């Protein structure tokens, strides 16, 4: 299966394929629940990457002051387990965009219609010292899809 | 700081001390968000352990049919970051107990009053094939604190 | 960068591209040393996969008795650090093949010539109970490149 | 089992108890091989900690210039598997001490005599930019046990 290593932008956001390896499973035979958060984070990172925003550049101050994304809140449903050797698809789209945080809706699927995980993730931008910051315009513009509700944070 | 490696039972549930090591941090300088889920899982496991319930025994069928705990849903707030070398306290208590699932309230603190993470976690019991099962009486009795609301699932 | 999600077979073995994400780094700013072992394991798994051998099939007994690969010994040099957002190339080739174990030479590179990690990995096949087993003929044939020394284990 | 959360100094070095949790296992039913490197790193960190050297202080320049420990080379034998719920003992002692690196011998045991993992680990001190540095006198003095061979690096 050929694909771009950073996934691809879609009409509604982004999708990324990830493989389940030994490292992702636990002794119950399926994927360890906290690993799905890593798959989701890969999706978010590659969504930003394809829009021109890298974590290293963010921390080096390429978008104003040095900053990093931090997850503030997550609601996550673990619906069905993934297994070793599975190829999963991580879907990411902006649900709500404010000046100081963005809410993303993410799903992990196997095949076309088998939804394994659903998550709503609130992400903020912080300084290296951990202080909340306003998102720089370039980041705001990147995360604003046509269909997202844009509102004050 | 001396403590039991499995933490200790408290009036309301359980608490466990965990150390933050290199492995838990990321390049932004603080603990990687998904690692808190592992700290929470350690707390849940040791809570059960001190009540006499081990994961290996569960999977080997010591409590009836072979079974394992699986996280079904989690709401988690990441309030403040933990840093390398920190000692954290994971608190676990039963919020709601049903026949097929339990809801636990968990917090991660640094020191007495610095709450870093708050989580509400819904856990179910599944067969090795991933099928939901009713919790065996020994597990139900273990997880039922006096103050928990006991209700049908 | 388009590539196959399972990497590709080369004249001497296999190569796989992997991305460095947040989860792979630590607070010193670079990739955490143990994560390279996971990258190496992904390379070995996808080498086997492209030769028709999956971990689930192995454990389900598709190649004789149920079995799994286990790392027995590793020598690993950490030469230079990888950083967030890097794309790395994991190279795998068979160095020595015996009836009960295989020795693989693996490298992790950034770009064409920047070798970050070199490893020699001894892998054996074990039963689910952890007992060493002889490798089934299909696995032996898969791992035997023309240039490998084939000798009794 | 009561113990200090940072383990304890012994006649020959240091020992630390670690618990095996869900997060440490993989679908083959035992501990994932790369996790032992994390257990070893916890042992090294707590050995230094009990001698008065913290990773945060090192990086903040409390021992001269800002610096961090980095693993340069590892030879590791995976002799027997650990399982969920096991309590393991990580032993660390200095084997060889030079001006720019230290070689540590480490073992992971279950019970008194069941050696699961043996490792020889070469560690160096680097600047935040990754440049090798000479170890500060306080670190050298800390790592020099009576029985270690002290030689130029």
DSSP symbols for B79-106: -S---TT-EEEEEEEEEEE-SSEEEEEE
Mutate to test the interface with A, among B26, B35, B60, B71 (most CBs of A within 10 A): B71
CA distance C17 to C108: 9
Largest CA distance in chain C: 46
Give me the pLDDT at residue A107, please.
98
Q: Are A72 and A126 in contact (CB under 8 A)?
A: no
Give me the pLDDT at residue D1, please.
66
CA distance B55 to B48: 9
> How far lies C67's CA from each of C54, C93, C111, in Å?
11, 22, 36
Q: Spell out the residues 6+ positions from residue B65 whose beta carbon is closer than 8 angstroms to its own.
A: B127, B133
Backbone angles phi, psi at A5, to 5 degrees: -65, -20
Supply the mean pLDDT for chain C: 90
Per-residue pLDDT band at B1 (split at 50, 70, 90): low
Give me the pLDDT at residue C1, please.
65
CA distance C4 to C14: 12
Let me know if D26 is a catalytic residue: yes
Kindly report, residue by residue over D41-53, the tens digit of the pLDDT.
999 999 999 998 9
CA distance A107 to A18: 13
Sort out which chain A residues have CB atoms less than 8 A from D28's CB and list them: 22
Mutate to test the interface with D, among C42, C78, C110 (most CBs of D within 10 A): C78
CB contact under 8 A, A55 and C22: yes
Supply the mean pLDDT for chain D: 90
Supply the mean pLDDT for chain A: 90
The alpha-carbon gap from B121 to the nearest alpha carbon of chain C, in Å, equals 22
CB contact under 8 A, D27 and A32: no
Sort out which chain A residues have CB atoms less than 8 A from D27's CB and list them: 22, 25-27, 29-30, 83-84
Q: Are A88 and A18 in contact (CB under 8 A)?
A: yes
Per-residue pLDDT band at D146 (split at 50, 70, 90): low
Q: What are the structural domains of chain A?
A: 8-145 (3.10.129.10)
Per-residue pLDDT band at A152 (split at 50, 70, 90): very low
What is the SS3 assignment for A139? helix
Query: Burial letters for A79-113: b for 16+ Cβ neighbours within 10 Å, e otherwise?
Result: eebbbbbbebbbbbbbbbbbeebbbbbbbbbbeee
Residue C153 has pLDDT above 50, yes or no: no
DSSP symbols for chain D: -EEETT-EE-SSSEEEEEE--GGGB-TTSSB-TTHHHHHHHHHHHHHHHHTT--HHHHHHTTTSS--EEEEEEEEEEE-S---TT-EEEEEEEEEEE-SSEEEEEEEEEETTTEEEEEEEEEEEEE-TTS-EEPPPHHHHHHH--TTSEE---
Chain D residue with minimum CA distance to C80: D130
Nearest to D68 by CA among D15, D135, D126, D133: D126
% chain B with pLDDT above 70: 93
Give me the pLDDT at residue B130, please.
79
Residue bearing tokens 């050298």? D140
What six digits make up the tokens of D143? 């790592």
Give me the pLDDT at residue D150, please.
47
Mutate to test the interface with D, among C34, C76, C124 (most CBs of D within 10 A): C34
What six digits make up the tokens of C66? 């149920």
Window 40-69 of C: residues touching D by CB (8 A cutoff) are: 41, 55, 59, 68
| A30 interface with D at CB cutoff 8 Å | yes
Q: Are C149 and C91 in contact (CB under 8 A)?
A: no
CB contact under 8 A, D83 and A34: no
- Helix ranges (DSSP H) in chain A: 35-50, 55-60, 137-143
CB contact under 8 A, D128 and C29: yes
The alpha-carbon gap from A144 to the nearest alpha carbon of chain C, in Å, equals 23
Average pLDDT over every residue of C13-38: 96
Q: Spell out the residues 6+ positions from residue D112 whose beta carbon is closer than 8 angstroms to its own.
A: none
DSSP symbols for C38-96: HHHHHHHHHHHHHTT--HHHHHHTTTSS--EEEEEEEEEEE-S---TT-EEEEEEEEEE
Per-residue pLDDT band at B71 (split at 50, 70, 90): very high
Residue B148 has pLDDT above 50, yes or no: no
CA distance B71 to B90: 17
Residue A91 has pLDDT above 50, yes or no: yes
D137 or A150, which is more confident: D137
Per-residue pLDDT band at D89 (split at 50, 70, 90): very high
Closest in A30, A73, A130 to B76, CB measured: A73
Give me the pLDDT at residue B146, please.
57
CB contact under 8 A, A29 and B77: no
Q: Are D87 and D17 in contact (CB under 8 A)?
A: yes
Number of other residues whose CB lies within 10 A of the CB of residue A4: 14
CA distance A24 to A84: 8
What six digits make up the tokens of C104? 């693989």
Give me the pLDDT at residue A50, please.
94
């Amino acid at each position: 299966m050929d694909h771009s290593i950073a996934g691809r932008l879609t009409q509604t956001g982004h999708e990324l394929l990830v493989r389940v390896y030994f490292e992702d499973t636990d002794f119950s035979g399926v994927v360890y629940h906290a690993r799905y958060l890593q798959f989701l984070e890969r999706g978010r990172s590659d969504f930003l990457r394809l829009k021109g925003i890298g974590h290293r550049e963010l921390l080096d101050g390429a978008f104003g002051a040095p900053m990093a994304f931090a997850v503030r809140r997550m609601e996550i449903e673990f619906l069905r387990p993934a297994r070793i050797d599975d190829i999963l698809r991580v879907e990411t789209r902006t649900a709500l965009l404010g000046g100081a945080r963005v809410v993303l809706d993410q799903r992990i699927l196997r095949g076309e219609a088998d939804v394994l995980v659903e998550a709503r993730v609130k992400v903020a931008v912080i300084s290296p010292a951990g202080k909340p910051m306003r998102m720089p315009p370039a980041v705001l513009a990147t995360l604003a899809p046509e269909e997202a509700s844009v509102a004050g944070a």
